[in-house]
Amino acid sequence: MVHLPGGTITLRDDRIGKTWNVSVAPFMCAQIPITQNLYHEFTGKNPSTFKGVQFPVESVSWNDAVHFCNVLSDHFGLPPCYRTVSTEVTERIPGADGYRLLTDAEWEYACRAGNSAGRYGDLDMIAWYKENAYGSPHPAGEKEPNAWGLYDMLGNVWEWCEDVYDAEIYGSYRIFRGGGWNDTERGCLASNRRRSHPTFAIDDLGFRIARTLI
């Protein structure tokens, strides 16, 4: 986990043409996405399509990701961050400081690492994407990190974020970020966001974890 400083990030949603500023408090962020060996260690499962102990775990839903966060928190004696209210609703527990997903704003703030450009470096040097991944993900942490020491923020696998995208239009759909191994260059930008149902799982979608500093 890397301690990241607080700051402000400007977010934009091209679908609705909206731009807004978010203050981000200091937090801890995993250097790499959760790997298959770590996921298996704490859940006894490996749902990934492309097997490799150091590959990012993929084919995990948002529900799977927050369950992992709670299991990890429990293992280390930390209060869980999520509780299930109904089959369609899982919510963050106020004040809990266990492991959790990054928020949408935290994710882009962490990805950019103070860089205002669309990427934090040359894409071939920092990311596995369609032109260099040759049809599969790769072990986490092999490409160059950003200025804050975070690897694979772009490419390799998309990463689930905590936030609901737009409840009025998309219901419980959650945000994911970062681009994946099968995306073109245009798909791997710090500002890109996609969304899907919290039960959705596919072979280029994983997650990384964070903790609130209190």
Query: What is the domain extent for residue 150?
Result: 2-212
The CATH number of whichever domain residue 10 belongs to comes to 3.90.1580.10
Beta pairing partners, 21: 10
Domain count, the chain: 1
Interval 67-94: pLDDT, tens: 999 999 999 999 999 999 887 789 999 9
Give the 3-state secondary structure of residue 148.
coil
How many Å apart are CA 188 and CA 64, to the nearest integer? 24
What does the buried/exposed string (b/e) look like for 82-110 if buried means 16 or more CB atoms within 10 Å of the residue's CB? beeeeeeebeeeeebebbbbbbbbbbbbb
Q: Which parts of 76-194 fold into alpha helices (H)?
A: 104-112, 123-126, 130-133, 167-170
Q: Is the pLDDT of residue 162 over 90?
A: yes
Q: What is the pLDDT of residues 123-157, one digit of tens each?
A: 999 999 999 999 999 999 999 999 999 999 999 99
